[in-house]
Structure 1
Amino acid sequence: MASTRDTTYDTDDEKRRSQVENNAQEPTTKEDNGFEGRSTFRSCVIVGTCTLAMGINAVCAASASIALPTIGKELDIPEERLQWILSAYSLTSGCLLLFLGRLADLYGRRRAFVLGSLSQVAFSLGCAFVNDEITLDVLRGFQGIGAAATIPAGLGILAHAFPPSKARSWAFATFSAGAPIGASLGSNVGGVLTQVTQKTWRSTFYFTAGLSALTVIGAIVSIDADKPSDEPDKRVDWLGAALVTAGLTLIVFVLSDGEIAPQGWRTSYIIALLIIGVLLTVAYLFWERYLERVQDSPNPSNSKWTPPPLMRLSIWKRARGKFAVMQWVAFLNYGCFVTWQLWAQLYYQDFLHLNPVLTMVRFIPMFVTGFICNVIVALLISRVPVVFLLIVGTAATGCAALLFAVVGPGAPYWAYGFPGAILSVFGADFIFASGTIFVAKVALPHEQSVAGALFMTMTQIGTAFGLTISTIVYDRVLSQQSRALGVIPVEGNANAPRLAQLKAYQGAQWTCFAFGMLACLLALLFLRGTGIVGHREPKATDSEETVGQGPQQDVQNKS
């Protein structure tokens, strides 16, 4: 008999499929999650608080990025080491997502959210008072831990607070707007604070601390109290957490440091750490697969050495593998979007020599477009197949990179920079909003934060990978073009001719364009049958029909 649930699932065996089917719908009664008895105002505050947390994550990166030249001058940090102010944050915020997401699912998402926000308040203030490079890098790393706790917890809070409905679509669309709007806000406000305040770059950290304090207040007054996890076995896979955290940390470290190491990618410790990081990650995957098999066996072990896996590997196979494709589309899209933003910012400041405020003004269209894009997602997610949003989004972000890949030294902003700022946001908003709704539908109630953390991890690693590859291209093109013009590059390429710098920026943006187009191709080839993932109210004539065609048919066929 056809199912009427608007959900998308696919698992390895009948037992797991039955569990997914029985838990497909989030609880919708007042006793379960308070949705029906909660006021509209309180629901809006919950969404706003979680969205603010998402925005703060982007603000932390963008505001620090636009202040890098000023930080380097005031703290006497060499240019080649400035990126660690950004990388230290991304290391912890990206590599601890899975572990902290699992803890949030087990011990309380509201608790994890509040503690993560308090952590960001404390370490943002700490960053504002530092006077040396090492301390700033260390505190930035601790600041990232707060984001790693709040983002997956926020996703889980929204998934639980809003059962499948139009309200859920609006909630997730609004949450996803936090990333591009936060990035724009961080660039805009960060640029102004850096240039016009007496504390310059330190003011950006005061600003972040203030926003984080607002999330603490919002969480305390609006988010429902944590209820015990419905998972029968609440043991933590500490070994898996150690393996994946160490493995991802080493891999992201190598991606961040490989190009600026003493001998580049041939540096001995870069090679060694890359090998160790890959081995630890592979070991984690084998360990998780072993634990999953133990848990799914007819007589599961209760040994302390066989806790439930941190992440079930079978989740990647859900929806006939479309879950995995969605992760890789997010990986590639964020490798394009965030990388485009960084190189566009450097192009304005280091090539055109614009001050932070003038640079900030050129990114204002991102803020407006980000808001509009998420309204579009909320309106269309329950009306059009999700692949349409994915293809349009990834193609638009790729085209933003294309505009800067062909930009000339005298190119007008209104012909290149303005449309680039508008187009770049489509991919970030469409993919994040659609992806998080899709993930929330695939994940079981007790694994919402882990599933959201996995999605966020892929975007973080994609960002690190995109920055690494584009930096390699930039350095190689800059060196080759300088030599072609008869200039031998010195350390840091400080004497590179202007034409060589332009070609290098273009090369980096061509790399971003490739990431965007590859994401578009993956969506086009492998997600065409995904159908509509947003909730759509069934009509009276649909009582014997499936609500939302597409991947839901997978469940019916298997039933």
Structure 2
Amino acid sequence: MSVNTVSIASSAIALPSIGRELNVPQERLQWIISAYSLTSGCLLLFLGRLADLYGRRRAFVLGSLSQVAFGLGCAFANDEITLDVLRGFQGIGAAATIPAGLGILAHAFPPSKARSWAFATFSAGAPVGASLGNCVGGTLVQLTDQAWRSTFYFSSCLSFVAAVGAILSFDADAPSHEEDKRVDWLGAALITTGLTLIVFVLSDGEIAPNGWSTSYIIALLIVGVILTAAYIVWQLYLERVQNSPTRSTSRWTPPPLLRLSIWKRAKGKFAVMQWIAFLNYGCFVTWQIWAQLYYQNFLGLNPVLTMVRFIPAFVTGFICNIIVPLLISRVPVVILLGSGTALTGCAALLFAVVGPSAPYWAYGFPGAILSVFGTDFMFACGTIFVAKVALPHEQSVAGALFMTMTQIGTAFGLTISTIVYDRVLKSQAAAMGVVDNADGTNAPRLAQLRAFQGAQWTCFAFGMFACLMTLLFLWDAGIVGHREAPPAGSDSEETVARGPPPAEKA
């Protein structure tokens, strides 16, 4: 988890340096982040399913080694296209390691207090990785001769350490208990292609030649939505076939990639948890990106000074993940998620009202502290809840679904906030008499500030919507953590939460 966050944070803080050296226009710099998120988010379900079937340890090691190889390739890239393509391949490694890691933890730690600590430790990888990515990445960009290339050497070294650690410490893969181990290749192709096109459109729609009215943007969006809808219909059909007492053994009806009935489990709270994760990440990650751009592009700070301003967030995030295991087995999830998402939204609110001469200690410092609560509480509570609801052979693919929602939420949040930023920048500049501001470089400083504020207002809306969903739909969800393991031979809390699997009902 730390390696994944380092790969995003270190490249984000290096964006201005990359843009200058490789002559990448400002509007296309986001693809260095988006290419990684595109593949890591869209392949999570497919690779999570393969990990469940063919071995989570194997998937984790191969994914880590893939990140090593393509991370080093990024360090040697000399043009924009090569770097974007290699970043996409680097994201495939993350799509393999994260769901495999969640599945490994779910099987290694049965429902108990130890499981709460295990998943909280996993979620602590996010602030730890963000800290390493920003602190070490900013220092490397600023002080080394290799500048931004050093950040990829750094992330590749961490990936290699993770691979070696997995080989030495993970138990051998146990064979899957599923009777039918076939892979739904058609479903995998439909959802992977559909999500890829949708995320691509979200990432590129605003910077396309004619914006959202560009012909290929409209066409790809329509195709992406159709393929995603076809995947849903196909999965419903396969699940109905699997649940039938006289189910067919035809090679055309393999087990579904993901049983869509999982969304209904725990009386629909599973689905609510996914959408809260979607909204929360649309708030937090987008806030972080716009805050970095505000410090570097508006205030003109170098990477090291920008990094220093995020240190309170990293420290608070680490402390939160020490506190979460103590709270998660005692405090109802509605309190944890409701307060966490509200505080993350307040961090965006501080930057939405920041003034041109606002002191850091009045806005930036409290904003950095408040920003991490939603993500740290959401990730720990969400992953434990998913592990409770998912069946043993679904652990990796269910964790992959949770991570997919966070990735798509990030892409959606960045897209909506970018649209708001561009629209506010153009309207404010036009009101001040500046017409030729297509790239925003000659927009007045006040117009740029209003644009940054508009983007942060969007982040605030995402955070508040996540808080509202928590209060409306999870008020009776109770406590998701465990004080101790259930007695041997008794019905586990997991079975009570989700009921018998569909096959048993049939």
**In the alignment, which residue of structure 2 is the partner of 1:431?**
378
**Letter paired with 2:37:** S
* Equivalence for 1:359: 306
* 2:273 paired residue number: 326
Q: In 2, are the aligned partners of 1:195 and 1:356 still within 8 Å (CA)?
A: yes
532 and 373 in structure 1: CA distance in 2 versus 1, 3 angstrom threshold: same
Partner-residue secondary structure (3-state), 2:439: helix
Q: CA deviation at 1:538?
A: 8.0
Work out which of the residue numbers 218, 223, 230 in structure 2 matches 1:283. Answer: 230
Paired residue for 2:181, among 234, 242, 260? 234
Deviates most, 346-355 or 298-307? 298-307
Partner of residue 503, structure 1: 450
CA distance change for structure 1 residues 70 and 379 in 2, over 3 Å: closer, same or farther? Answer: same
Give the alignment of 1:34-183 within 5 angstroms: 54-183=1-130
Distance in 1 (alpha carbons) for counterparts of 2:68 and 2:407: 22
Name the counterpart of 1:191.
138
Local SS of the residue matching 1:320: helix
- Give the C-alpha shift of residue 181 in structure 1: 2.3
Secondary structure of 1:492's aligned partner: coil
Quickly say closer, same or farther: Cα 1:265–1:230, change in 2 above 3 A. same
* Corresponding residue number in structure 2 for 1:267: 214
Task: For residue 490 of structure 1, report the CA deviation from its aligned partner.
Answer: 2.6
Of 207, 212, 218, which aligns to 2:154?
Answer: 207
Which residue does 1:19 correspond to in 2? none
User: What displacement does 1:300 show?
Assistant: 1.4
Within a 5 Å distance, the mapping from 1:431-470 to structure 2 comes to 431-470=378-417
Aligned-partner SS, 2:266: coil
| Residue in structure 2 matched with residue 219 of structure 1 by the alignment | 166
Give the secondary-structure state (helix, strand or coil) at the position aligned to 2:193: helix
5+ unaligned residues in a row in structure 1: which ranges?
Answer: 1-53
User: Per-residue CA shift, 1:455-512, capped at 9, x if unaligned?
Assistant: 0000000000000000000000000100111111333111100000000000000000
Asked if structure 2 preserves the Cα contact closer than 8 Å seen for 1:529 and 1:551, the reply is no
Judge conservation of contact 2:279–2:462 (CA < 8 Å) in 1: yes
Whole-Å Cα distance in 1 between the matches of residues 100 and 14 of structure 2? Answer: 29
Distance 2:103 2:497 in 1: 26
| TM-score with structure 1 setting the length | 0.87
Residues 110 and 485, structure 2, Cα contact 8 Å, conserved in 1? no
CA contact (8 A) 1:394 1:519 kept: yes
What whole-Å deviation, never above 9, does each CA across 1:376-399 have from its counterpart, x for those lacking one?
Answer: 210011111111111011001000
Q: What is the rounded CA distance, in whole Å, between the counterparts of 1:144 and 1:410 in structure 2? A: 39
Match of 1:418 in 2: 365
- Displacement after TM superposition at 1:185 (Å): 1.8
What TM-score comes out, normalization by structure 2 length? Answer: 0.96
Q: What is aligned with 2:197?
A: 250
Query: Does the CA-based 8 Å contact 1:530-1:551 persist in structure 2?
Result: no
Please point out which of 457, 479, 482 is paired with 2:429.
482
Cα offsets for 1:35-83 (capped at 9, x unmatched): xxxxxxxxxxxxxxxxxxx111111111111101111111111111111
Separation of aligned partners in 1, 2:428 and 2:19: 27
Residue-by-residue CA offset, 1:101-155 (whole Å, 9 max, x unaligned): 0000000000000000000000000100111111111100000000000000000
2: distance between equivalents of 1:125 and 1:341? 26
Aligned residue identity for 2:472: L
Task: Please name the residue that 1:378 is paired with.
Answer: 325
Q: 1:522 aligns with which of 454, 457, 469?
A: 469
SS class of match (1:299): coil
Alpha-carbon distance, 1:330 to partner: 0.2
More deviation, 296-305/489-498: 489-498
Distance 1:320 1:512, change over 3 A: same
Deviation sequence 1:158-211 (CA, Å, 0-9, x none)? 001111111110000010111232123211111110010000000000000100
Q: Which amino acid in 2 is paired with 1:65?
A: A
Q: After TM superposition, give the deviation of residue 375 of structure 1 in Å.
A: 1.4
CA distance in 2, matches of 1:539, 1:202: 50
Report the alpha carbon displacement of residue 299 of structure 1 after superposing the two structures with TM: 1.2
Contact 1:56 1:182 in 2 (8 A): yes
Question: Structure 1 counterpart of 2:86, which letter?
Answer: L
Secondary structure class of the residue paired with 2:267 = coil
* Ranges of 4+ aligned residues in structure 1 off by more than 6 Å: none
CA RMSD, Structure 1 to Structure 2 (Å): 1.8
Deviation at 1:534, TM superposition (A): 0.7
Q: Distance in 1 between matches of 2:317 and 2:483?
A: 24
1:371 CA displacement: 1.1
Answer yes or no: is the 8 Å Cα contact 2:99–2:396 preserved in 1. Answer: yes
Distance in 1, matches of 2:292 and 2:497, equals 45
Tell me: CA distance 1:493–1:165, structure 2 relative to 1, closer, same or farther (3 Å). same
Of 143-152 and 55-64, more deviation after overlay is shown by: 55-64
C-alpha separation between the residues in 2 aligned to 1:393 and 1:487? 41
Number of residue-to-residue matches in the alignment:
500
Unaligned runs of 5+ in 2: none
Paired amino acid for 2:273: M
Amino acid at match of 2:181: K
What is the identity, as a one-letter code, of the residue corresponding to 2:188?
A: A
CA distance in structure 2 between the aligned counterparts of 1:551 and 1:476, rounded to whole angstroms:
50
What SS does structure 2 have at the residue aligned with 1:490?
coil
The structure-2 alpha-carbon separation of the partners of 1:72 and 1:359, relative to structure 1 and needing over 3 Å to count, comes to same
What whole-Å deviation, never above 9, does each CA across 1:332-352 have from its counterpart, x for those lacking one? 000000000000000000000
Amino acid at match of 2:396: S
The equivalent residue for 1:45 is none
> Counterparts of 1:270-349 in structure 2 under 5 Å?
270-349=217-296
Tell which deviates more after alignment, 531-540 or 101-110: 531-540
Q: Deviations over 1:415-455 (max 9, x none)?
A: 11111111100011000000000000000011100000000
Q: Does 1:398 align with 2:325?
A: no
SS in 2 for 1:493: coil
In structure 2, how many angstroms separate the alpha carbons of the residues matched to 1:199 and 1:491?
32
Query: 1:398-427 CA distances to partner (integer Å, 9 max, x unpaired)?
Result: 000000000001111111111111110001
Shift of 1:555: 5.3
Distance 1:417 1:235 in 2: 52
State the distance in 2 between where 1:532 and 1:320 align: 15
Percent of aligned positions that are identical: 79
The Cα shift of 1:547 comes to 9.2
